């Protein structure tokens, strides 16, 4: 791209990316393109990705692109497999992620106006707060966008009553290539609906919605295609008030029975529901219509030979309507084949598929009561299992043409055009409409900048597909002859990626369900930070097109381990465990660099048993003296309280309050005191598994030596270790465990329910509080109700629930983000705090020291009027105890942490070195320092030597460090005000940190210090 074009895009600041990996991730859609087709597509790596945030920016972008003939490819969430979001002619991908606002809701008129980048799930959440809901939505509801569905076209859940999406749109604003904005309504909507962005960029959509009401379901099974068609027709003929009608075919039912269930820590957490191998029809209808529908179904079922299935199956199919991709784990790839057929030819179509397609053809579908010509139509979304890693995938892919040809012979048409069926636009859109759209495109986009190569023509790919269609019987023979194996079958590692993780990378459906709820993504807004993006990158790596670099290592380590993605995944992939496995692979085994602050933590952990560099002998300084006899280290009990590092050294109110609360509740427990070590969660997520294992063994031995068999924690990360991680690792290492983990909130709640403990009535002022579900106690351990029970039992407390709670609770942003990108962490913290402010909470209660630390730092940085209070602190105050204010120590520790984070970067180390030139030059071995000073007096000598610096410095620095370290410690001490105990340990800690970091960083540091060093030597020569 020309330099002047780049200068225009730079105005978008952080909302434009020229990064090659990022551009690659925006250069594809959900489909896995066959290897034989890929060369025909050409280079689909865009020159840039830009994220406009309003219509004005879209106008500027359109005018600039037209004037400079730069292709623009609009992109919603790329959840279609037709290539509509693939940049065939490079240029700029326009990502609508930052245009996702609900602009106006008209409850009386039942309409809503939105920006195009909002997902259906996000919109529905907003509508429900106003007593409204969506009329219809795609089965990709969790990830696809309103603008994307309008551009793509189609039908989905609710289409039985409300038809195609285009029929439910009131108006759309379209930014034309000239920058003109058209407000399209009625018939003019044909100029944007199904047009896949070739006529302009959608900036607003107004659509019809409906009143929120309860939905009931019912499921029927039919074992014959012709009986199935009769059943559908009978339901339509009775004009029953059904809202949605969807179905799966027998092969889909069979594969769903085999698909892996969602697991948690290696154990299934879903019930296996066995479906009959039949056409399973799921009906959805409003509560008010339940009697009319349910009373008619038995007679219709008897007349058509249908079987009424159990409520359990009906609910299973309805609840799983967004998760059909679980079957992809059995392939691990799927060839898409989507068509629309008239209902009166459905049985003939399905029968032909059964006869002519020998490969497993799994289908889902939706029924539309009034199709485009007023007659019932059926949308069939078909998938053929295959493996994109093998050549046979090319042959199986050809069967999509068979599916298409059979549909067309039965009066059907393609579901969409995109790249592959651009030569079938007349059939997909209708001749008159296609001609109108083509003429409009020619008139308003003479330069052809708006999503070129889509809908019409299709270039080489369209020609190839058209040619292959003519030889479809021959293509079919090859596709049917390919042996296809069903079932998960990871074999061995691929380029050092563990076998199961390698399989999951291809089993990922690229649906995007994980994206918007991933805090790593929404804190930054770029695809590379999402699970979907990481899975795609792993495919590229395993196929040899990418290599590990520090940026990608950091990307995997930056996952906050919140586990939201595990719940969202349409294929039930164990995403967070896969990332965890890669942490150890990358850091422990391949010796790549972890986040630099983790190296300071590991040095402190090795020296003192904690991550805050506090002295081990001071670990129990917080413990209340009056409890020593009953609960101190000399007391033996079956329960041991495990405080953790942060409660021991920083937020000591947590430890004090926790033991006060347990004591008041009559719990017999002991405490390890200085024998307690860090739980080692930071080392696990840092990939320092060697140190993790060493620390875990010490903790297990300490608990057993205390005679305890139950560990009570206040910190969720500590609880997670004792409850889930330690047992798994102990089993793997052959260590006897037999330790139970409980959180103090569970124990106190049990006492409350048993009437063995109660909070006293007091005259404390009423207060409104909310609860933050910490990820590691919530999604990881499932402890949701005990903390709430505890809060509600405190007198004079008004409890309010945040919008995102329990399984859906948003991550605080994690200390992982805090130590990597503090500004991003503050944004994530604000997202969570805003939810509390929206419901009028005065205090956010939490029980995770790290969440509290992160939320307090975020609240201070963003100046948000809310107090973050630990749950045990809150409860202990209700018992009359006075507790220390943790905020001063949090601020002090964060000041040190933030300064250390800035220091332990290439820029930070380079800046530090510029303050030590005299010492650095004197520390150079073999007389190099004297030589460098002498060369500073010779014009051009140092400049000539400059290319050698990247070679010399990595060799010299390790030899220089022993002499340089005292000066470095002095400079660091002057730059970073730290507590005395930490400063005293720096001579031990800092060399270890530098030894581990500098080999990885030196390549980035040298270019930053070379010219300043040369300038310094020249200046010294001039002065002397």
Local mean pLDDT, 10-residue blocks, the chain (1024 residues): 81 96 96 90 95 98 96 95 91 97 98 98 97 97 97 96 97 98 97 96 98 98 97 97 98 96 91 97 98 97 97 97 93 93 97 96 96 95 94 94 95 91 89 95 96 86 86 94 91 94 96 95 95 98 96 94 95 96 94 92 96 95 96 96 96 97 97 97 95 97 96 97 97 96 98 96 93 96 97 97 95 81 89 96 95 91 94 96 92 87 92 93 90 90 90 87 92 91 93 92 92 92 85
Residues 632 and 694 in one domain: yes
pLDDT value for 458:
67
**Pair (690, 567) in one structural domain:** no
Kindly state whether residues 613 and 719 are assigned to the same domain.
yes
Q: Domain count of the chain?
A: 4
Domain assignment present for residue 376? The answer is no
> Do 608 and 683 fall within a single domain?
yes
Q: Which of 545, 569, 589 is the last residue before a domain boundary?
A: 589
For 561, the domain range is 499-589
The conformational region for residue 870 under phi > 0 = left, psi -120 to 50 = alpha, else beta, is: beta
Q: What is the CATH number of the domain that holds 277?
A: 3.30.70.3450
Query: Are residues 642 and 528 both part of a single domain?
Result: no
Residues 988 and 852 grouped into a single domain: no
Q: Where are the alpha helices (DSSP H) in 543-627?
A: 550-557, 564-568, 575-584, 596-608
Check whether residue 577 and residue 603 sit in a common domain. Answer: no
Last residue in a domain, options 539, 570, 589 = 589
At residue 796, φ and ψ (nearest 5 deg) are: 65, 30
How far, in Å, CA of 772 to CA of 812, rounded?
Answer: 8
436 within some domain: no
pLDDT of 95: 98
Statement to judge: residues 676 and 816 lie in one domain:
yes
Residue 42 in any domain: the answer is: no
Same-domain check for residues 690 and 756? yes
155 in any annotated domain: no
580 and 692, same domain (yes or no): no
Query: What is the secondary structure of 696-725 as a DSSP string?
Result: HHHHHHHHHHTT-SEEEESSHHHHHIIIII
What residue has token string 């459905």? 346
- Write phi, then psi, for 192 (nearest 5 degrees): -125, -35
The two three-digit tokens of residue 667, written as one number = 């719990």
Q: Is residue 233 part of a domain?
A: yes
DSSP 179: S
Tell whether 991 is covered by a domain: yes
CA-based angle 160:166:167, to the nearest 5?
Answer: 60
- Using CA atoms, how far apart are residues 131 and 125, in angstroms rounded to an integer? 10
Task: Give yes or no: residues 958 and 883 share one domain.
Answer: no
Looking at 874, 896, 918, the residue that finishes a domain is 896
By CB atoms closer than 10 A (0-12, 13-18, 19+), residue 187 is exposed
C-alpha dihedral, 539 to 541 to 545 to 549, nearest 10°:
140
823 belongs to a structural domain? yes
Q: Which two tokens stand for residue 465?
A: 């597909």
Asked if 866 and 911 sit in the same domain, the reply is no
Please indicate, yes or no, if residue 377 is contained in any of the structural domains. no
Q: What is the dihedral of CA 642, 647, 652, 653, to 10 degrees?
A: -80
């Amino acid at each position: 791209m020309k330099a002047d074009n780049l200068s225009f895009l730079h105005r978008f600041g952080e909302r434009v990316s020229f990064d090659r990996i990022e551009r690659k991730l925006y250069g594809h859609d959900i489909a896995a393109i066959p290897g034989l087709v890929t060369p025909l597509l050409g280079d689909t790596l865009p020159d840039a990705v830009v994220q406009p945030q309003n219509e004005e920016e879209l106008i500027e972008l359109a005018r600039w692109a037209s004037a400079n003939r730069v292709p623009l490819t609009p992109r919603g969430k790329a959840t279609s497999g037709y290539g509509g979001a693939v940049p065939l002619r490079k240029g700029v991908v326009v990502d609508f992620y930052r245009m996702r606002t609900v602009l106006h809701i008209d409850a009386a008129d039942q309409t809503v106006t939105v920006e195009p980048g909002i997902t259906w799930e996000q919109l529905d959440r907003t509508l429900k707060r106003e007593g409204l809901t969506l009329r219809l939505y795609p089965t990709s509801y969790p990830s696809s966008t309103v603008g994307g569905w309008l551009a793509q076209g189609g039908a989905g859940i609710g289409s039985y009553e409300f038809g195609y999406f285009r029929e439910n749109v009131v108006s759309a604003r379209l930014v034309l290539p000239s920058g003109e904005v058209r407000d399209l309504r009625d018939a003019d909507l044909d100029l944007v609906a199904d047009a896949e962005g070739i006529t302009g960029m959608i900036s607003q959509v107004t659509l019809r919605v409906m009143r929120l009401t309860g939905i009931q379901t019912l499921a029927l099974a039919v074992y014959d295609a012709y009986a199935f068609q009769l059943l559908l027709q009978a339901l339509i003929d009775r004009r029953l008030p059904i809202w949605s009608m969807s179905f799966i075919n027998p092969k889909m039912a069979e594969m769903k029975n085999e698909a892996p269930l969602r697991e948690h820590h290696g154990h299934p957490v879903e019930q296996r529901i066995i479906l009959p191998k039949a056409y399973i029809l799921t009906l959805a209808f409003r509560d008010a219509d339940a009697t009319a529908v349910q009373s008619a179904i038995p007679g219709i079922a008897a007349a058509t030979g249908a079987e009424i299935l159990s409520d359990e199956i009906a609910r299973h199919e309805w609840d799983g309507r967004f998760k059909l991709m679980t079957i992809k784990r059995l392939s691990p790839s799927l060839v898409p084949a989507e068509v629309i057929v008239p209902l009166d030819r459905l049985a003939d179509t399905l029968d032909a598929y059964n006869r002519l397609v020998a490969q497993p053809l799994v289908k889902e579908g939706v029924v539309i009561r009034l199709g485009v010509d007023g007659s019932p139509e059926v949308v069939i979304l078909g998938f053929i299992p295959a493996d994109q890693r093998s050549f046979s995938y090319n042959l199986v892919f050809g069967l999509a043409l068979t599916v298409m040809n059979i549909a067309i012979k039965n009066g059907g048409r393609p579901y969409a055009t995109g790249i592959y069926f651009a030569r079938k636009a007349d059939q997909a859109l209708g001749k008159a409409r296609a001609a109108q759209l083509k003429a409009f495109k020619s008139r308003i986009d003479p330069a052809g900048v708006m999503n070129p190569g889509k809908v019409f023509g299709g270039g080489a790919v369209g020609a190839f597909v058209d040619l292959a269609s003519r030889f479809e019987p021959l293509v079919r023979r090859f596709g049917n002859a390919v042996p296809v194996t069903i079932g998960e079958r990871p074999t061995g590692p691929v380029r050092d990626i563990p076998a199961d993780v390698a399989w999951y990378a291809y089993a990922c459906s690229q649906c995007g369900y994980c994206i918007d709820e991933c805090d790593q993504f929404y804190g930054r807004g770029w695809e590379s930070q999402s699970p979907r993006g990481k899975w795609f990158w792993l495919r590229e790596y395993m196929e040899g097109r990418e290599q590990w670099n520090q940026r990608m290592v950091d990307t995997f380590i930056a996952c906050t381990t919140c586990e939201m993605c595990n719940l969202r995944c349409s294929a039930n992939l164990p995403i967070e465990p896969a990332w965890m496995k890669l942490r150890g692979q990358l850091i422990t085994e391949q010796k790549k660099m972890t986040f630099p602050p983790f190296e300071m933590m590991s040095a402190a952990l090795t020296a003192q048993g904690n991550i805050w560099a506090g002295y081990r002998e001071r670990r129990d300084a917080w413990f209340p003296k009056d409890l020593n006899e009953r609960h101190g280290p000399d007391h033996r009990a079956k329960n041991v309280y495990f405080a953790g590092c942060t409660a021991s050294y920083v937020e000591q109110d947590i430890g004090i309050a926790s033991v006060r609360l347990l004591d008041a509740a009559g719990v017999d427990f002991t405490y390890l005191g200085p024998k307690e070590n860090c739980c080692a969660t930071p080392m696990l997520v840092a990939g320092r598994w060697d140190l993790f294992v060493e620390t875990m063994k010490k903790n297990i031995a300490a608990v057993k030596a205390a005679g305890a068999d139950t560990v009570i924690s206040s910190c969720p990360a500590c609880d997670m270790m004792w409850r889930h991680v330690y047992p798994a690792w102990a089993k793997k290492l052959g260590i006897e465990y037999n330790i139970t983990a409980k959180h103090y909130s569970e124990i106190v709640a049990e006492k409350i329910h048993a009437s063995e403990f109660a909070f006293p009535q007091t005259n404390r002022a009423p207060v409104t509080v909310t609860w933050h579900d910490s990820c590691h106690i919530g999604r990881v351990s499932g402890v949701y109700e005990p903390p709430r029970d505890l809060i509600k039992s405190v007198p004079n407390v008004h409890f309010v629930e945040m919008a995102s709670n329990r399984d859906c609770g948003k991550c605080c942003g994690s200390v992982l983000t805090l130590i990597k990108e503090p500004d991003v962490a503050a944004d994530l913290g604000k997202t969570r705090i805003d939810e509390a402010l929206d419901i009028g909470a005065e205090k956010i209660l939490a029980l995770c020291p790290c969440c509290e630390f992160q939320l307090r730092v975020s609240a201070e940085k963003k100046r948000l009027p809310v107090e973050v209070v630990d749950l045990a602190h809150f409860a202990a105050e209700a018992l009359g105890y006075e507790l220390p204010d943790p905020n001063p120590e949090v601020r002090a520790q964060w000041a040190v942490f933030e300064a250390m984070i800035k220091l332990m970067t290439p820029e930070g180390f380079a800046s530090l070195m510029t303050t030590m030139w005299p010492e650095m030059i004197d520390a150079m071995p073999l007389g190099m320092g004297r030589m460098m000073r002498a060369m500073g007096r010779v014009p051009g000598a140092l400049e000539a030597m400059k290319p050698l610096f990247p070679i010399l410095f990595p060799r010299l620095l390790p030899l220089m460090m022993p002499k340089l370290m005292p000066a470095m410690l002095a400079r660091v001490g002057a730059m970073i005000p730290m507590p005395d105990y930490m400063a005293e340990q720096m001579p031990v800690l800092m060399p270890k940190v530098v030894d581990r970091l500098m080999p990885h960083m030196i390549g980035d540091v040298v270019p930053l210090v070379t010219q300043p060093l040369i300038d310094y030597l020249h200046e010294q020569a001039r002065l002397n």
